[in-house]
Amino acid sequence: MVPSDASHDEPESEAPIKAKRSKPEEVTYHPVKLSRSDLYRPPTAEELNQLKEAESLFHCSLLKMQMEELLKEVVLSDRKKQQIDAFVRTVTKLLQAVPDSPKVEMGDLSWLSGAVKVPFLLVPKTTKGNFHMAPPASVDLIGSYPLGTCTKPRITVDLAVTIPADVLHPKDAINQRYPRKRALYLAGLAQHLTSSSEIGPLRYSCLHGNRLRPILLLTPPGKDSSSFTIRVHACPPPGFFKPSRFHPQRNNIRTEWYTGLQTSHEPPTPHYNSSVLGDLLPRAHLQFLSAVGSQCSAFVDGVTLLKVWLRQRELDQGTGCFNGFLSSMLLAYLLTTHRISNSMTAYQLLRNTLNFLASTDLTMNGISLARDPDSTPSLVEFHNAFQVVFVDPSGHLNMCADMTACTYKQLQHEASVSMKFWDDPTVDGFHSLLMTPKPMIRTSDHVFQLCELVKLQSSCKKLNLLGELMDHSGNYIQTALPFILSLLQQGLGQRIHLLTHSLSSVPEWPVESEAPKHRAQPPISFGLLLNPELAASVLERGPPADSPKAADFRQLWGSRSELRRFQDGAITEAVLWEAESMCQKRLVPRQIITHLLQLHVDIPESSIRYVGAIVDDVIKTGNEVPSTGEEESLRVVQSYDDLSRKLWRLVGLPLSITAVQGAHPALRYTQVFPPLPMKMDYSFFDREKICRSLVPKEGKPCPAYITPITVICHMEGSGKWPHNALAIRHIRAAFHIQLGELLKKHHNYTCRPCPTHLDVWKDGLVFRIQVAYHREPQVLRESVNAEGLQVVRDNEEAQALELATIHKPLLTSTLHGLQQQHPCFGAVCRLAKRWLGAQLFSEDITEDTADLLVASLFLNPAPFTAPGSPQVGFLRFLHLLSCFDWRNNPLVVNLNNQLTAADYTEIKNDFMGSRESLPVMFIATPKDKKLSLWTKRNPSIQELHVLGREQSHSFPILEPFLNAHWSPGSH
């Protein structure tokens, strides 16, 4: 559940009273006697509705109860509300006692003590106008608290303080006069409140990161200082400014004032206009939402669930976020346009809202709550000024003014993924969508950061973004960000499904300190969701040389673009990236990002921290060309495929071969260090006379160990097979001899037969062929007792043989297919095994178990998409080990998608019914639903506990390592 402050919500207990010990009273319970009419009374209409709702809306009644418990956990308790109300009354009383001050010019701060600073970046330094302090005209609660949608754990209560009309001037909307007076008024309030012992330490912040809208943060003193925060907003009187003055095409920042340069054309300032307009409407918005919420009984709960969903995806905090206010407005829009009904439950409201977000693109087709659209700006005018459009009921304010198109695309993507998993009965939708956090580092396949953000100041000049810089009041980061996102989207193209960026954290600072500079902002993180089929392509093919688009292509790529002739005869513009190994191809997006940012934005390579390549270094081999094992594994698989075809074609065997299956991790691309082909130097050896084996010469180096690659060769069933285990072994040994002779005769392979296997030397590799007979495990289970009756008893020998000849080959072939679907599967497995080996857990978690754990991340990735890079797969592997509830849940790995919803239910029921006799780590597969063969022997409870503890130690080490300054190309 979401963390709560339950410790503050419990009523204070009375002082303990000493009493004499007494024997506990014996209580006898008697059954309640019901009349026949009560006993067989039909269910009421409410009970029928609840039963029907649980059956039709939820996968099971458990989901309904989980939703109800979550709502109880995040809503505010009555005691907490009483604390908040009392503190609000205290603050209101103090604010109403603010003293007057004489009228001075805005640049004169002599009335303000040096202990309190103005929460505003004064760029330019001065502007016209006078200012004086006066008691607020009114103090009102606004936002989520009076609406009833305020939730834990971050409890914030909004208080609107109305600036008296005589402090402002109707022309204050021009040249930042109003925002500066607003900041001065907040500083005056802070100066008055600092002397009060009824309020804790005072801080400043910005509303959703907008520096033009500073706010004052108040907390209660003492131990309750962290339980909730009051945000004081300074607002003009309702209707003080004309809304038409803030049309998105109008200018309110004069170029001559901002730059000192005269111009004949003033660019529009839509972002500045919306920030000022937003202060005029909070009371109207509260009235609108209250009216809509009163018509829908589940409105508050629906907004609460949506806020929890957004919080888990880190979309509700920071600049340009989709905050709780937008959540309430979106739900109100769906209700007022009758897309959803007032009679719907909270579950239905959440589901329909996510479905709307998934299917509606507000970057192309904005929506509006305007009641009189003819007298307000059109949606087209809003789209010309903003990337995302959602107009409020007044028709003048775009509530998504600061949101980038990439942020909305991320919101749309998350809603689409949520709907997909919610409709899947095999997925625990509640925990996946409402309880699992999705930080960028575990969500995006590749992550990189822009550091030294001060360099974006010169980038704005190079890109000629003066008008946009004025509009954002000097915030060069927010000015350059849309251009950078558009540039990367254009350059990466079809290589990515989604481009996301972190939402700039909202700064907080003490009232005694100056407002932090823009350069103090932490690095901006960008996330890429890769398209596995195209992400690693080394060729960027452009338009034909004579096409009108060729000039744009050359302008985008600069000197990297060149004319190339292709096999189909076409001559086109193209860009070729340097990459030989799969490891280097996986980093082609990094080359693209670095090149584009250097070329167009003047961001040096040293200012880009790219963390998508770090984990590749862990599994690199010692070759001259950097490699992470993909090429070596591919050579092993290709050699095995050739051997398999030749075994199928062998002629002269008494029984035909029915199956040839690999049973080695290298054949599914998951061995940490795949076997490398060895070329023997025969001058180091003598040949033994009898069996012709090679014996090392004295003084020569010892030969390198060659890992044998196990191959299971199944022979057809026949009545000629004996029914005795020892005789079957002899027959298998004879097959090994004959297979070796035929391979030597037809293909000239060096073979060495043994009773249990046949070693074949091929392409510098050793393949260990083991002949198998499908009935041999059954023969091992059969015995004759003293009475002469045949008895069938399971035993370890039969289980081991079945595991080696049936289950392991099947697992290898299945995971080989998974590697074909997800190219990074093998790399994630090798990383996971390297980590297990480094923690000395290789004996506790076998290779097969580790591969199945990683496979579950690809087959059941909810609430994520399947990993697209080794890094994100490895981080999710660590998270799985630390967070999965092995005690109460089986890990179901649905290989080849063979399990149905009924199978999932059967597995869970059997698991709960036999939990005490099952392995500690239970992994179920389509061929192993009840036993968990791969974890039958280990790990133990103690080993699993230590494993989880080691994982919890790895995250604090690994995440700073991933986020540390990381110079591209340095290892």
Which residue do the tokens 């060309």 mark?
625
| 680 and 706 within one domain | yes
Q: Which residues neighbour 932 within 8 Å (Cβ) at sequence distance 6 or greater?
A: 890, 918, 919, 921, 922, 923, 924
Q: Are residues 664 and 709 in the same domain?
A: yes
Residue with the larger pLDDT of the pair 11 and 831: 831
The answer to whether residues 926 and 849 belong to one domain is: yes
In a domain? residue 159: yes
Interval 57-77 mean pLDDT = 80
Same structural domain for residues 946 and 831?
A: yes
Per-residue pLDDT, averaged over 537-545, amounts to: 92
Shared domain for 649 and 793, answered yes or no, is yes
Query: Which residue among 241, 260, 293 closes a domain?
Result: 241
**215-262: pLDDT as tens digits:** 999 999 988 778 899 999 999 998 899 999 999 999 999 999 998 888
Q: What φ, ψ does residue 75 adopt, rounded to 5°?
A: -75, 160
Q: What is the reported pLDDT for 612?
A: 54
Residue where one domain finishes, among candidates 770, 792, 816: 816
Whether residue 164 sits in one domain with residue 130: yes
Average pLDDT over residues 154-175: 95
C-alpha torsion angle, residues 374, 376, 380, 386 (rounded to 10): -160
DSSP bridge pairs for 94: none
Per-residue confidence (pLDDT) for residue 137, from 0 to 100: 95
- Percentage, residues of the chain above pLDDT 90: 69
Given a cut of 60, is residue 29 above it in pLDDT?
no
835: in domain: yes
Q: What is the DSSP string of 10-54?
A: SPPPPPP------PPPP----PPP--HHHHTPPPPHHHHHHHHHH
**What's 111's domain CATH number?**
3.30.460.10
The answer, yes or no, to whether residue 727 has pLDDT greater than 70, is yes
Q: Among 270-284, 609-623, 759-773, whose mean pLDDT is lowest?
A: 609-623
**Residue percentage of the chain with pLDDT more than 70:** 91
Q: Is there a contact between 550 and 541 (Cβ–Cβ < 8 Å)? A: no
Structure tokens at 179: 């925002």
Convert 248-265 to b/e letters by CB count within 10 Å (16 or more is b).
bebbbbebeebeeeeeee
Look at residue 715 in the predicted model and tell me its pLDDT: 93
Residue 297 has pLDDT above 70, yes or no: yes
- Give the confidence band of 68 by pLDDT, cuts at 50, 70, 90: confident
Kindly state whether residue 567 falls inside one of the protein's structural domains: no
Q: Hey, what are 213's tokens? A: 């809208």
Q: What pLDDT is stored for residue 962 in this prediction?
A: 52
- Tens of pLDDT, residue by residue over 365-379, are 999 999 888 889 999
- Where residue 15 falls among pLDDT bands split at 50, 70, 90? very low
> What does the pLDDT average to over 673-680?
87
Mean pLDDT of 318-339: 95
- pLDDT per position as a tens digit, 379-419: 999 999 999 999 999 999 999 999 999 999 999 999 999 99
66 lies in the same domain as 215:
yes
Last residue of a domain, one of 796, 816, 836: 816
**Contact (CB, 8 A) for 644 and 730:** no
| Per-residue confidence band for 627, with pLDDT thresholds at 50, 70 and 90 | low
Higher-pLDDT residue of 892 and 683 is 892
- Bridge partners of 954, per DSSP, are none
> Within a domain: residue 43?
no
Answer whether residue 428 is part of any domain: no
In a domain, residue 179? The reply is yes
Q: Are 92 and 99 in contact (CB under 8 A)?
A: no
Q: Residue 59's pLDDT band (boundaries 50, 70, 90)? A: low
Q: How confident is the model at residue 73 (pLDDT cuts 50, 70, 90)?
A: very high
| pLDDT (tens digit per residue) in 132-158 | 999 999 999 999 999 999 999 899 999
Q: Which of 222-226, 441-445, 455-459, 488-492 has the lowest mean pLDDT?
A: 222-226
Of the listed ranges 72-81, 627-636, 690-699, 750-759, the one predicted with least confidence? 690-699
What the block records as the tokens of 680 is 């023997």
Residue range 647-670, pLDDT digits in tens: 999 998 999 999 999 999 999 999
Instruction: Taking residues 626-646, report their average pLDDT.
Output: 90
pLDDT confidence band for 682 (50 / 70 / 90): confident
Categorize the per-residue pLDDT at 305 as very low, low, confident or very high, splitting at 50, 70 and 90.
very high
Q: Check whether 951 has a pLDDT greater than 70.
A: no
Contact by Cβ (8 Å): 726, 776: no
Please write the tens of the pLDDT for every residue from 830-857: 999 999 998 888 888 999 999 999 999 9
**pLDDT reported for residue 531:** 94
Question: Within this chain, do residues 791 and 702 fall inside the same structural domain, yes or no?
Answer: yes
Residue 53: the pLDDT is: 62
Domain that holds residue 131: 61-241
| 42, two tokens | 């039909």
Residue 594 maps to which CATH number?
3.30.70
744 and 876, same structural domain?
Answer: no
Please state the rounded mean pLDDT for residues 190-195: 94
**Spatial distance between the Cα atoms of 588 and 536, rounded to a whole number of angstroms:** 6
β 367-368/390-391 pair status: parallel
Mean pLDDT of the chain: 88
Is the pLDDT at 18 greater than 50, yes or no?
no
Q: Are residues 594 and 456 in the same domain?
A: yes
CATH number at residue 691: 3.30.460
Q: What local confidence, expressed as pLDDT, does residue 959 receive?
A: 52
User: Is residue 50 in some structural domain?
Assistant: no
* Phi then psi dihedrals of residue 352, to 5 deg: -70, -30
Residue 891 lies in a domain: yes
Give the count of domains, the chain: 4
What CA–CA distance (Å, rounded) separates 663 from 710? 5
Shared domain check, 754 and 739: yes
- Whether 869 and 812 share a structural domain: no
Cβ atoms of 137 and 162 within 8 Å: the answer is yes
